[in-house]
Amino acid sequence: MNETKKLRVALFFGGVSSEHEVSCVSASTWLRALAQAPCADRYEVFPVGITKQGRWLACSPTPEAMADGSWEKGADCTPCVLSPDRTDHGIWLLKDGKAELVHIDICAPVMHGKNGEDGTIQGLFELARIPYVGCGVLGSAVCMDKAVANTIMDAAGVPHCKWASAIRAELEGDHKTLLDSIEQRLGYPIFVKPANAGSSVGITKATDRAVLEQAVVTALKEDDKVVFEEFIDGQEVECAAIGNPDDPATVSTTRPGEILAGAEFYTYDDKYKNGVSQTVIPAHLSEEKLDEVRTEARRAYLALGCTGLSRCDFFVERGTGRVLCNELNTLPGFTSISMYPKLMEHEGLSYAQLVDRLLQLALRRRKGAY
């Protein structure tokens, strides 16, 4: 009996990003999942690590080596490039002055932050005409830029907090009048964020003008645009969305989970390092409020042009009960403590089943196009 040929999945991880290490840990979870049922019988994995310097290396690390960063020292690491030639449909391995083409069926970018979930690598996949997991170029870019995402949510009527934004040129010059207006509009505390960064990198909670000034400097280290948002006293809840908008019936959201942060707000260390934060699924909300979060998550997912998957982050304001969208993360973490896979697991999908679903959604979205 002839066995069905496995599909080759290029698993991209690492990257030139402040979230390089988190990407490696997330990808190690994918690597384990691809070795389990139902993935093991359907896919062949082809890992491609991207160093902090931007080198692309085909490799075959263990999940442990992928997670701890030692994969770069592997003897089998081979420089490679994704071919933009659509007739190639693959990756060129470059070794000893020779080039070898490896056919790729699906690309899975398990990458976070800049150069991974901002539409850049997605553009390469589009040029190569290879199906890929997650949002397209536009949806990725929109959700990465908090100012653009907020503008679109305003237009679509998706509720979120009061906000303002400014570019580097406005903030590095005489910006007293600008900060005066932001203080007057938002009041303290004010959250100051790089417009294009994830996992709470570069974010400061400013409680007075002196902290606000320093917060701007911190944010500008990460990006050329800064977003200012009012403080919301509320529960931090997250909802997992999955599906392709070209087939609305496939778009669904999970019951929201709640973040019990270990600090004043959900920091990078809370998410990935110190294990202080806790998650509760479902969130401590009424059934009516849980449904409201799910409804708004789906609205935001569609309004922002998401495809495949996204983690939708919300606040439920204490006192008023207002449901306010914070942001959508188009390539959420897949570590052992990450909320997105935990939410899906609560819906009955194991990590391996979730990975298989995401790969199938990528193929379905591109069916007939390649």
Say which DSSP state 261 is in. Answer: -
Q: Which tokens hold the place of 101?
A: 């083409």
**Residue 167 included in any domain:** yes
CA distances from 32 to 235, 309, 318, 349, 353 (A): 33, 20, 40, 15, 12
147 and 290 in a single domain? The answer is yes
Q: What is the pLDDT of residue 201?
A: 82
The contacts of residue 264 (CB under 8 Å, 6+ apart) are 205
Range of the domain at 100: 7-133
Q: Which tokens hold the place of 213?
A: 């000034």
**Residue 152 included in any domain:** yes
100 and 82 in a single domain? The answer is yes
179 and 259 in a single domain? The answer is no
Contact 229, 163 (CB under 8 A): yes
Go through the chain and tell me how many residues it has: 370
186 and 122 in a single domain? The answer is no
Q: What is the pLDDT of residue 264?
A: 62
* Coil/strand/helix, residue 355: helix
Query: How far from chain centre, in Å, is Cα 268?
Result: 14
149 and 123 in a single domain? The answer is no
Task: For residues 57 and 240, give the distance between their C-alpha atoms in angstroms, rounded to a whole number.
Answer: 31
Task: For residues 204 and 160, give the distance between their C-alpha atoms in angstroms, rounded to a whole number.
Answer: 19
The 163-167 sheet, strands edge to edge: 163-167, 225-230, 190-194, 204-206
Contact 191, 206 (CB under 8 A): yes
First to last CA, the chain: 29
151 and 248 in a single domain? The answer is yes
247 and 311 in a single domain? The answer is yes
Predicted structure pTM score = 0.92
- pLDDT < 70 regions, the chain: 1-3, 199, 262-276, 366-370
Q: Which tokens hold the place of 193?
A: 């964020």
Contact 12, 54 (CB under 8 A): no
Q: What are the beta bridge partners of residue 253?
A: 241
104 and 248 in a single domain? The answer is no
259 and 123 in a single domain? The answer is no
**Residue 342 included in any domain:** no
Q: What is the pLDDT of residue 370?
A: 44
Beta strands per DSSP E along the chain: 7-14, 43-50, 56-58, 78-82, 90-95, 98-103, 106-109, 163-167, 190-194, 204-206, 225-230, 234-243, 252-253, 257-260, 278-280, 308-317, 323-329
64 and 117 in a single domain? The answer is yes
Closest to 45 measured CA to CA, from 6, 71, 74, 2: 6
Number of structural domains, the chain?
Answer: 3
**Residue 357 included in any domain:** no
CA distances from 236 to 72, 283, 317 (A): 37, 9, 9
37 and 122 in a single domain? The answer is yes
